[in-house]
Amino acid sequence: MSQHPSEATTESLGTPQESGDEQARVAAIDIGSNSMRLVVAQILPGFDYRVLDEERESTRLAHSLAVNGKLDEGAIELSLAALRRFKKIAEGFGVYDIRTIATCAVREASNGEEFCRRAQEEEGIQIEVISSEMEGQLAFKSVAQAFDIRDMNVAIADIGGGSTEVVYACGGHVEEIFPTHLGCVRVTEEFGINDELFTTPDSLKRLITGIDKELKPLVKKRPFVPQVLFGTGGTFTTLASMLMMQRGEVGQVEWGYRVHRADVSHMLDQLSKMTLKQRKSLPGLSADRADIIVAGIAIIDRLMHRMDVNMLRIHDRGIRDGLMLSMIEDLQPGLGTEKAAAEELRRLEAMEAFSRSCGVDMIHTRHVANLAVKLFQQLAPIFDLKESDDETIFASAMLQDVGYLINYEKHHKHSYSLILNSQLPGFSRHALEIVANVARYHRGANPKKKHGNFTRLSDNDQLRVKQLAAILRIAGALDRSHRQQVSKVEVVAHPDHIFVTVEATGDPEVDLWAARSRTELFGKAFDTDIRFGLRRPAASSVSSELS
């Protein structure tokens, strides 16, 4: 389960019912670009819920959005009527406060605020317009609850009518979220010229070229090649439904259904050769999705091609489910916190046990790890470093010396191999590769293009490794004496350098000398100098911030 906090606030979560059932009931509405969905559910003990009722209505709010930047007036009226019906359904279950979110179409439309105002005034429903990043977080939350992805590098794609959010996650944590403008309705309107709807080779070629252009930045910035792509949204479940009908797999569940890249390409080819009338009669494809399905399948096909991923798994839930899970977390806040704490403790214990088994000086190692985190947290806002990498540098510091198990002289190189093959719990393969590289460069030569372990990384990850290793070198140097004399570090940015004030007891001469002699990589990684100064702690007490 993801531990990233939900951006959307929960104003109304329902209340326990009077019918002798103590579990709370909640309702949520997801206003998408293609359709609107309602779910009414009952919270169950633990982190789960039981669906009491669901409803869906295709309103096509994003229709004409790509053309004039506005929500279609007819679609607005349909959506308001659907909201009215959804509200009555929820009230029938005793839920009078409904969490309602809107995504791409309302977010981008010039009259989106007017639509929200009318929903509030005419239907008494307050709409919360969420960001594309939040859409990605909710999709991830749903997938992480439904599948065990803790030890995998995965991508999650949520295809809607107006946008597709792509989430890269490793070790059960979100690595990156890439929003795109590739919605099945938007793409159909943009490239389905003259109602051809991609039935000619030229129109299909234009479609694929347009999708590839939008995906190009995503491919350049991807942090890793995912082992599997998880798909959420109606396009994915429709793909599964069509394949199951063709294969005679009637009655199988869509959840978890496996689809190979070749299956997607074949389906795209098949659909593009059919007329709209033929698509409407295709088993497994609903008539109201027949006009946008080619664009949706084309998005999947190009995503898999560009990501270089061969396996797709279908998830029959998505943003709405993620929203429900967020509501449960808010009603039972201890659940998420306890789970996160248990996972963190498990990972820390595994790191410590591994280091101890390799003969590591644990007092020195813990002190360096804490110094590294404190330096990183102060440098992060200055250089726009990834906040979650405080965990990466902590793990790298805790494991940097495990190579002592083999020998001292090249222990940093041995540390790389040992970490990479450790299979430590709570780390994905990609996360371990980053940690192993940072540990590899905590001493010795700087990262070089001739180092295979380094060049295998993406450009973004190479920079991460350089910067984290540079900080780790400074932290290690500040305990060169192995006497834990440095109790505090304060970082100040100047136009031409970074100044670190070191607070220390005893005689930190060796520690400061070591720090000043290990600044080369820092200068290269951050394109600035780093300098150090000494300050004695107050006589009354010594800071225990890093102890």
pLDDT at 541: 43
Phi then psi for residue 35, to 5 deg, are -150, 165
Write out pLDDT tens, residues 316-358. 989 999 999 888 877 776 666 666 677 788 889 989 999 998 8
The share of the chain scoring above pLDDT 90, in percent, equals 59
Write out pLDDT tens, residues 20-52. 445 789 999 999 988 899 999 998 876 778 899
Is 70 exceeded by the pLDDT of residue 72? yes
Residue 496 one-letter amino acid = D
Architecture of domain 132-326: 2-Layer Sandwich (3.30)
Is 70 exceeded by the pLDDT of residue 406? yes
pLDDT at 408: 66
Alpha-carbon distance values, 409 to 344, 413, 414, 453, 510 (Å): 32, 9, 10, 19, 21
Write out pLDDT tens, residues 493-534. 999 999 999 999 889 999 999 999 999 999 999 999 999 999
Q: Does domain 25-129 have CATH number 3.30.413.10?
A: no
Is 80 exceeded by the pLDDT of residue 251? no
How far is the C-alpha of 378 from the C-alpha of 503, rounded, in Å? 15
Among 337, 323, 349, 158, CA closest to 235: 158
Give the residue extent of every domain in the chain. 25-129, 132-326, 359-534
Q: What angle do CA 340, 342, 346 make, to 5 degrees?
A: 115
State the number of CA atoms in the 13 A half-sphere of 158 facing the CB.
28
- CATH class given for the domain over 359-534: mainly alpha
Tell me what the pLDDT averaged over the chain comes to.
87
Confidence of residue 220 (pLDDT cuts 50, 70, 90): confident
Is 50 exceeded by the pLDDT of residue 489? yes
How far is the C-alpha of 169 from the C-alpha of 152, rounded, in Å? 8
Same fold across 132-326 and 359-534: no
DSSP string covering 34-77: SEEEEEEEEEETTTEEEEEEEEEEE--TTTTHHHHSS--HHHHH
pLDDT at 82: 96
